[in-house]
Chain A
Amino acid sequence: MTPDAIALVLLTVISAATPLLFAALGELVVEKSGVLNLGVEGMMILGAVAAFAVAVTTGSGSLGVLAGAAAGTALAFVFGVLTLTLAANQVATGLALTIFGLGLSSLIGAGYVGIPVSPLAKLAVPGVSDLPLIGPLIFGHDALVYLSIAAVAAVAWFLKKSRAGMILRAVGESDISAHSIGYDVIAVRYRAVLFGGAMAGLGGAFLSLSYTPLWAEGMTAGRGWIALALVVFASWRPWRLLAGAYLFGGVTIAQLYTQGAGGLGIPSQVMSMLPYLATILVLTIIAAGPWKGRLNAPACLGKPFRPST
């Protein structure tokens, strides 16, 4: 393989990983605050359609990205009202979010099927971008890819070093204690949930504006659920999440390339099963392994909390 071909493969791995990274990083923060939002798939696809519709209508990719984040946030707000204010079951609400998001997105997107959109602009640094291998690999992405990696660093710093991050973790580990020493559990969780929605929306925006600059019904194809699995895989650690997302990006691309190469005689559908089967395998290894990664799960994950005033 020439350096250019290697660079091309790695580039596609990165773009396959980026939507997963956005959505999973958002969910990681949500779960750290003790909330389980299973609606990632719904927020992601609503973000994808909103970003696409706005980008096509206004001609501006940046506005599209903002719209994607806003749509994800809006749906996350519904989740917040139901689970945080009204203390509804988080699992059921998350599923409702996914069903609603899939329905609303195909309703909105019905008029946008088959319409092309100009993909997000790639960064171009004169001189450096033309270097073999390193050039396209480090300097050849659109802004969202850099944003996703910067977000990993930011979230890692926030959770570990910042005061607000410490409070968020305290709320996730013991809501009652955090409440009793005067922190507003519900407010902290609202902020986390809204952040999670914005990140899922960004992941969706990346899908419809960069990864496959098209709108297709149900185009997230389970990525929101894979993002949820990635959080478990990473045992709630941001840098491990980055590794996990790129690993899954690799699985997706390997599967596409094998299909392209005639599939070694294997039907293409069987190859398409790979990311889903890999998710199950990875979840099992994490749960069964000696490292006990799931012991790292926030203690209050998924438990509703209502302050007794």
Chain B
Amino acid sequence: MSPRLAPLKIEARREIPRGLLYATPLLAVALTVVAGFFIFLAMGYDPFLSLYHFFVSPLLSFYGWSELMVKAAPLILIGVGLAVGFRANVWNIGAEGQLTVGAITGGVVALAVWGEEPVWILPVMCLAGIGGGMAYAAIPAFLKTRFGVNEILTSLMLTYVATLFLSTLVYGPLKDPMGFNFPQSRMFGDAALLPLLLEGTRLHLGTGIAVAIAVAGWVMMTFTIVGFQVRVLGQAPQAARFAGFSSTRIVWFCLLLSGGLAGLAGTFEVAGPIGQLIPSISPGYGFTAIIVAFLGRLHPLGIILSGLLMALSYIGGETAQVEVGLPQAVTGVFQGLLLFFLLASDFLVRYRLRFRPTVAAAASSQPAE
């Protein structure tokens, strides 16, 4: 018996209760909304009105929903890739950089044939984007498997390099010669733009592909041997070694997969909503996707939902900025808070809180045990 008299006892659970596992993200969202209420109050805004414009009013119009899908697409694509790695304890933090490189490689293909409108251009751009993202993620993969360099730091450092590289290009060789010296490339030709799924919205083909890839990711993780190996390597590295799974191969697989998907997301951004290369392709999708992966419980189908929710944090931030004058930075605060609450409520998943009987009652019940 513990010497402490606290009536609360914390025990590790033997089994993870499924229901609780999927309930905690909802708890985390609820806590974030409550925290948001007090943050808005403290900042001197009407908390009800602010929360309404942040979480509700973007969803009241059809256009709002289509924008939600547009913003969710890159988050889902990247989140699915990252989640596979996180399951195997491969921490690719540089998806933002891989997205940027994918945007560059895909964009360069589009600009190379500018003025012509070849029908094959979109598939080639997508392949170039995937290849660019993969190649960029191959650097941390190589350094990790060959020399044992921590992939967290290398992939993150490469993000800064990628952003600077994109900036070099749009200020230099790829600058639109007719663009009044603005740091942006030419607008892509029509054939190099993703077709819209619905007229009057920005909903493009890429959003559909993102959802399809998430479903494919679920099939892979659940039904294939490689998905099984990833899960074993994350949960029981020694068992994986004993079974002869190559951890080197899994590291390569996870980084190439997440890098490729991030690169594809980058190409979708420039071939979809943006339509050209500009100095900043993404408002931090690569980092937000980390939260998306966790909030979706590292499960591809959960990631579709969490991707939509995190997309709401971007759109809600914009709406609240217009309607209530909230600073855009609120989005980042909300995203960070959400991950805090999720990690904290995970405690309930892994540990059981039990109210112990008082010492007297425990003493009297002792002989019965």
Residues of A within 8 A of B (CB): 38, 42, 78, 81-82, 86-89, 91-93, 95-97, 99-104, 106-107, 110, 221-222, 225-226, 228-229, 232, 267, 269-270, 272-273, 276-277, 279-280, 283-284, 287-288, 294, 306, 309
Question: How far does the alpha carbon of A167 sit from the alpha carbon of B337 in the complex, in Å?
Answer: 33
| Minimum CB distance partner of A304 in chain B | B350
A-B contact pairs, 30 of them (CB 8 A): A81-B344, A86-B344, A86-B346, A87-B347, A92-B290, A95-B93, A96-B340, A99-B335, A100-B339, A104-B329, A107-B332, A110-B327, A222-B157, A222-B160, A232-B150, A267-B168, A267-B171, A267-B172, A269-B164, A269-B165, A269-B167, A272-B164, A273-B160, A273-B161, A273-B165, A280-B153, A280-B158, A283-B143, A283-B153, A288-B147
Residue with the greatest number of chain B CB neighbours at <10 A, chosen from A102, A106, A280 = A280
Using a CB-CB cutoff of 8 Å, which residues 48-106 of chain B contact chain A?
Answer: 91, 93
Does residue B294 face the partner (Cβ distance < 8 Å to A)?
A: yes
A92-B290, A103-B331 known; 10 new pairs, CB 8 Å cut-off, are A88-B344, A93-B343, A107-B332, A222-B156, A229-B157, A272-B164, A273-B164, A280-B157, A283-B150, A309-B4
In angstroms, Cα B330 to Cα A110, docked, is 11
Interface bits B316-350 vs A (CB < 8 Å: 1, else 0): 00000000000101111111110110011011001
Please indicate the chain A residues that have their CB under 8 angstroms from the CB of B290 in the complex: 92, 95, 99
Is the beta-carbon distance between A280 and B154 smaller than 8 angstroms?
Answer: yes
* CB–CB A110/B160 < 8 A: no
Residues of A within 8 A of B10 (CB): 306
Q: How many residues of B contact A (CB 8 A)?
A: 50
CA distance A267 to B168 in the complex (A): 7
Residues of A within 8 A of B147 (CB): 284, 287-288
Measured between beta carbons, the chain A residues less than 8 angstroms from B288 are 99
Complex CA distance for A309 and B6, rounded to whole angstroms: 12
Interface residue? B218 (CB, 8 A):
no
B331 CB contacts on chain A under 8 angstroms? 103
Q: Are B327 and A99 in contact (CB under 8 A)?
A: no
Give the chain A neighbours of B156 by CB distance below 8 A: 222, 225
Whether the pair A228, B167 counts as a contact (CB closer than 8 A) is: no
Interface presence of B37 (CB below 8 A)? no
B340 touches A82 (CB 8 A): yes
A78 contacts across to B, CB distance below 8 A: 340
Chain B residues positioned under 8 Å from A267 (CB to CB):
168, 171-172
Residues of A near B351 (CB, < 8 A) are 87
* Contact partner, A87, options B143, B294, B333, B350, Cβ 8 Å: B350
The answer for the CA separation of A86 and B149 in the assembled complex, in Å, is 29
- Nearest first, the 7 closest Cβ-Cβ pairs linking A and B are A103-B332, A100-B336, A96-B339, A106-B329, A88-B343, A103-B333, A107-B329
